[in-house]
Chains A and B, each alone.
Chain A
Amino acid sequence: MTEQNEQSKPQAAAAKPAPAARPAAAPAAPAKPAENELKPRVLAPAEARAELVRLKEKEGMDYLENLTGVDWGEEGLGVVYQLENTTTHQRVAIKTLTADRENPFLPSVSDLWDIANIYEREVYDFYGIKFTGHPDMRRIFMREDWVGYPFRKDDETEKNNPLRMTNEPLADTTDSYILQQDGTITKETHNIFEEDEYVVNIGPQHPSTHGVLHFRVSLEGERIRKIDPILGYIHRAVEKISENMTYPQTLALTDRLDYLGAMQNRHALCMCIEKAMGIEVSERVQVIRTIMDELQRIDSHILFFSCLCQDMGATTAFLYGFRDREEILKIFEETCGGRLILNYNTIGGVMADIHPNFQKRVKEFIPYMRKNIKEYHDIFTGNVIFQNRAKGVGVLTRDQVISFGCTGGTGRAAGWSNDVRKHHPYAAYGKVNFNEVLRTEGDSFARYMIRLDEILESLNIIEQLIDNIPEGPFQEKTKPIIKVPAGTYYSSVEGSRGEFGVFLESKGDKSPYRLHYRSTGLPLVAVMDTACRGNMIADLITIGGTVDYVVPDIDR
């Protein structure tokens, strides 16, 4: 507590002086270095790859947490890799860049981590960096006939790309670039689907893809041979438009990424900015944020249950789920004013204090929900049809989920303990007792059960906190114009469906230089190919439902 007081004093003092008396050089840098600063080691491309191999093999850094492409202007284009050790939970960041803007090449790490495949495609799409040794160098979000690389600072995107109403071309071939012994780079073209393969399109408009997502599915009879996901139908370039916004403005967009994790997403960004600036938020805010995050998690998991049931034809269960979800929305609405998009967290606190009825309603809700979970199990979990379609279907092993970076329920169903709340406690999670729900089967049924059990766990967390909300301000005083000191920062929270991270690169301006969100859903879509291979096409829906992705979060 003393720490907090020391921290809040200079803040309050800085806010007080009249505008005329304000010193020109405001104390931009906080007293102590920000705890979430990344300080990535800068290495040359070839060395970086060697170092990444070493870290993975020798130091057990087997989880590629995040991979961010950045345009450093004069310095060049590059990538920041963030690794985590899945046993010690140590984190490491490596940065590498190339000065060549015409034909940038970097070595691929897609052979080390499966998820790097899709992350590197994203970087290629945004920045045009080609990865040598990558098997599938195609655009991922933009149309294939898109001109230029939109996230580069000097790209004239709007001019080159008017609205095209022609149908989108979909190539059947893909390129890969191979670095030869003598240093030259050769291009190879190969087929995505062979000539005699039977390919079915699922999406972009399909009711059970949970949004606008497109799968090209190659079939062998009824068995799935391969899945090629095509993304970007809801790519809103949130990261790019954030670069022209002030920090408080960027907050509003986070709610709309994963709208079932609106609280947690916004919490992550607020926390990242607060830690970078050295703002200590009050205990009260920490507890409120924790309760809200957990309510949001329950909301999301109920929706998961409802949608899964609906996809499998159990309409009554869908209605049960929505009945209970409305109770949470009622609580949200009283305090935040919104139902779905809540806009509650702010930099340094929350938008408004909790409603006088908040505690009463939450306390009413806890036993109500506990009772209804039993009802869920009665109506759906024991159902023979569901059991047959879920048990032993879409099995993912622990190694696979780590390699694909599938955090959240999907990872925990396969036995990977990856809860950010446990391993990197934030807000009030360090003070509460809760279990990380783990299972080892890794099939659709385990993923389903994890979520229902997590609802109970979240209720436990809320129960511990709801009577002990400490007094204090709900909003710290901040400067009218928020400027984050120069540096690279990363903060992550446990979102509704996995680790939601915020990568923030600041040059000390009032808007971020680069803001990247570690999407919770992108790894989950990337893993669909592995999870579905050899399963029936009908099970694609169940697997997709239990993996639980939200498409606007994938595309960002």
Chain B
Amino acid sequence: MKRPKIKNIPYKEFKDNETFEKLVAELNAKGTNVIVRKLDELIDWGRSNSLWPLTFATSCCGIEFMAVCAARYDIARFGFEVTRNSPRQADVILVSGTITTKMAPVLRRLYDQMADPKYVVAVGGCAISGGPFTKSFHVVNGVDQIIPVDVYVPGCPPRPESFLYGMMQLQRIVKVENFFGTTNRKQKDPYREEAEQRAEALYQQEEQA
């Protein structure tokens, strides 16, 4: 690859908060209601400090995730320590490790099983782009081909500090969201259309009868 497309924020912006402030301004510009916004802030404050990750790890990055959970790096400082084994109870999926083509449908299903609002963090080179296994026939080159990713954490594997940095960026994303009316209904009901068609067909049938 001659010109790699880097997916994270530019290096300069890494230091200042302009990017995020712009993001905040943008989000605030889109119909912020005074009362609801206050409620939003309260809810977002709570949500951002209690993001429950799904225990999902396929390879090396999972071990670093365990290290982050342990005493020295102590993920509990940020309220992420409640790791859930069921996707139904989790808020965020940390894709730590290589996703192979065999695993891809499983990951997709796990993501679909999570309740909204849900977030995805791609941890490590493999989840971002395939990492050292890009040329392998059995590796998905970037988990964003399967599910939408909110935060990318580079590294092979990322240091615990970068883990925490990535999770803090996710907190910032959560903090500026409008919970009412948007975030809590982010995903469209995939069966809605089907259900409508079925209802229509039933109606037609009854009409004919």
Contact = CB atoms under 8 A, between A and B. Distances in A.
Interface of A: 141-143, 150, 157-158, 161, 163-168, 204-207, 211-212, 232-238, 240-241, 244, 252-253, 256, 259-260, 303, 306-307, 318-319, 322-323, 325-326, 329, 339-341, 551-552
Interface of B: 55-60, 62-64, 66-67, 70-72, 85, 87, 97-98, 100-106, 108-110, 132-133, 135-140, 145-146, 156-157, 159
Contacts of A143: 101-102
B100 A236 contact: yes
Contacts of A552: 58-60, 97-98
A206 B87 CA distance: 11
A15 to B, nearest CB: 28
A207 B85 contact: yes
Contacts of B62: 211
B122 to A, nearest CB: 16
A167 B109 CA distance: 9
25 contacts: A141-B138, A142-B102, A142-B138, A143-B102, A163-B140, A165-B108, A168-B102, A168-B105, A168-B106, A205-B106, A205-B110, A232-B100, A235-B100, A236-B133, A236-B138, A236-B139, A241-B136, A256-B59, A303-B63, A307-B66, A318-B70, A339-B64, A340-B63, A341-B156, A552-B98
Nearest to A232: B102
Contacts of A166: 105
A235 B106 contact: no
A259 B60 contact: yes
A252 B58 CA distance: 18
Interface centre among B106, B133, B138, by most chain A C-beta atoms within 10 angstroms, is: B138
A260 B63 CA distance: 9
A150 B136 CA distance: 10
Contacts of A551: 58-59
Contact of B157 (A212, A237, A322, A340): A340
A240 B137 contact: yes
Majority SS of interface residues in chain A? loop
Interface centre among B58, B67, B87, by most chain A C-beta atoms within 10 angstroms, is: B58
B181 to A, nearest CB: 30
Contacts of B97: 234, 552
Nearest to B68: A322
A157 B137 CA distance: 7
B108 A341 contact: no
Contacts of A339: 64, 67, 157, 159
Given A207-B85, A236-B139, A322-B71, A164 B105 contact: yes
Contacts of A205: 56, 87, 106, 110
Interface centre among B104, B136, B137, by most chain A C-beta atoms within 10 angstroms, is: B137
B105 A207 contact: no
A173 B64 CA distance: 39
A319 B137 contact: no
Interface centre among B57, B64, B70, B87, by most chain A C-beta atoms within 10 angstroms, is: B70
A211 B59 CA distance: 7
A326 B60 contact: no
A303 B64 CA distance: 11
B138 A235 contact: yes
Contact of A341 (B55, B57, B60, B101): B60
B63 A322 contact: no
B38 to A, nearest CB: 38
Given A233-B58, A259-B60, A339-B159, A319 B70 contact: yes
A326 B110 CA distance: 32
A150 B102 CA distance: 14
